[in-house]
Amino acid sequence: MPVNLLKRDREGQLKSLETVAAVVFFSLLLILGIIFFSRFQAEQGSQQKEESVALDAVSLAQIIIEMPEIRCEMDNCIDIYKLEAVAGIAKTRGNLFYSSAFGSYANSVLYANITLKEIYPEEGSILLYNRTKPGSKSSQLFEFPVSAYNATSARYIFSMLSIRRYI
């Protein structure tokens, strides 16, 4: 009889050990699955943030191009002299001008650098807005081709509207 009891004891211990091993194995699988899922979600969240910043930059460029203060009278372009006047007013009045000019986008404009870079046939640049974010470690540059008009020479200038967003 004692031999049968020892045999049953060992069988019981083996079954308990199998159960513990199965629980540990499935727990490890669950932990690895959670780690993989959290990394995937973090990567997807950063991609969505980048897309959101890009869409904001496109919306901001459309607002700037369509501003009646700097838009050409006839064509879909930017008047250089109007832009220089607006940039001069903005330097003296600061953010008060931009909060009324950009409306609901005033908060998204606050940390950006907006410049019109003239490329051909003349070269130059006009700084429209510049405010860096304190402690910002990175930024994204978005450039949009636009046509600028010089009323003095009655010429169109190929230009790039450069928007640097600070993240």
pLDDT digits (tens, 9 = 90+) for 17-54: 888 899 999 999 999 999 988 888 888 877 888 888 88
Domain boundaries, the chain: 37-166
Q: Which residues share a beta bridge with 157?
A: 148
Least confident of 48-57, 87-96, 100-109, 143-152: 100-109
**Beta strands 139-150; 78-79: pairing state:** parallel
Q: What is the DSSP letter of 164?
A: E
More confident residue, 120 or 101: 120
More confident residue, 125 or 46: 125
Model pLDDT, residue 117: 94
Rounded to two decimals, the pTM is 0.69
Range with top average pLDDT, 2-16, 25-39, 125-139:
25-39
Is the dihedral angle over the CA atoms 117, 118, 123, 127 positive or is it negative?
A: negative
Q: Are 157 and 121 in contact (CB under 8 A)?
A: yes
